[in-house]
Amino acid sequence: MNKVKLGFFSFTEITDPTQHRAYNEWHQLDHMPEQYPLPGLAFGQRWVCTPALRAARLVDEAPLDAAHYVTLYLMTDPVEQTLTDFMELGAKLHQLGRFFQPRVSHLSGPFQFLEAHASPRVLVSPESIAYRPNRGAFVIVEEPTDEDRLDGFVRELHETHMPALLDVPGVAGAYSFASSPRFGNQGWSKVRRRITVCYLDDDPLAVTEKIAPLLAARWDGAPVRPLHAGPYATVVPWQWDWFDEPSPS
């Protein structure tokens, strides 16, 4: 059984293009470390969509087209208390002046954990795949368009599409999440979304080329609409130069 009960996502845009280094320094060296002492915080990771990776997105609709980074915190029971602690800590850090201002999150909030998958070629369990080192993630955001056909689509995902995705070289595994009315009642958005995070152990650009035809088949006649689908690279400490202007020659 996976101890993870929900994923807290943030699809973040940096509104001042000169502040990417400052944002990464703040988030990686200050903000994210402060989350780990929370009892219900199991793990956190952040990925970046570099200019080259953005050009390779398969689906890039507004407002998620503006996202430069995806952050995912994995949370455990008791989820209500964990979310309360998480938000109270954020408010406290904000009051202390330890919050980054030139940013906006275009999709943010808790999503219920659905299931974990691991490629047959990796040795770890599906539940462990999020903690295995990765080179990046391929992130898919979908919304339902036909509720009556949704259960059949989910079964097909589990039986057909996900095994095919796990056979792609470079896809180590995946976690899937969905919005829940449970959290909508707590003030979060009630808009239906499904998010799949594919954990990659090969170059994200190379994996994207192999994933593309599988996703085209996944969405052909499906009762969901893709809102966002694209590769992200793992953020590495102190390697934050993806958006730097080239030095004049």
Q: Map out the domains of the chain with their CATH numbers.
A: 4-234 (3.30.70.100)
Given this model, what pLDDT does residue 57 score?
Answer: 98
pLDDT tens per residue across span 32-51: 999 999 999 999 999 999 99
Given this model, what pLDDT does residue 2 score?
Answer: 87
Given this model, what pLDDT does residue 25 score?
Answer: 97
Which H, E and C letters describe the chain, residue by residue?
CCCEEEEEEEEEEECCCCCHHHHHHHHHHHHHHHHCCCCCEEEEEEEECCHHHHHCCCEECCCHHHCCEEEEEEEECCHHHHHHHHHHHHHHHHHCCCCCCCEEEEEEEEEEEEEEEECCCCCCCHHHHHHCCCCEEEEEEEEECCHHHHHHHHHHHHHHHHHHHHCCCCEEEEEEEECCHHHHCCCCCCCCCEEEEEEECCCHHHHHHHHHHHHHHHHCCCCEEEEEEEEEEECCCCCCCCCCCCCCC
Given this model, what pLDDT does residue 112 score?
Answer: 95
Given this model, what pLDDT does residue 181 score?
Answer: 81
pLDDT < 50 stretches in the chain: none
pLDDT tens per residue across span 150-170: 999 999 999 999 999 999 999
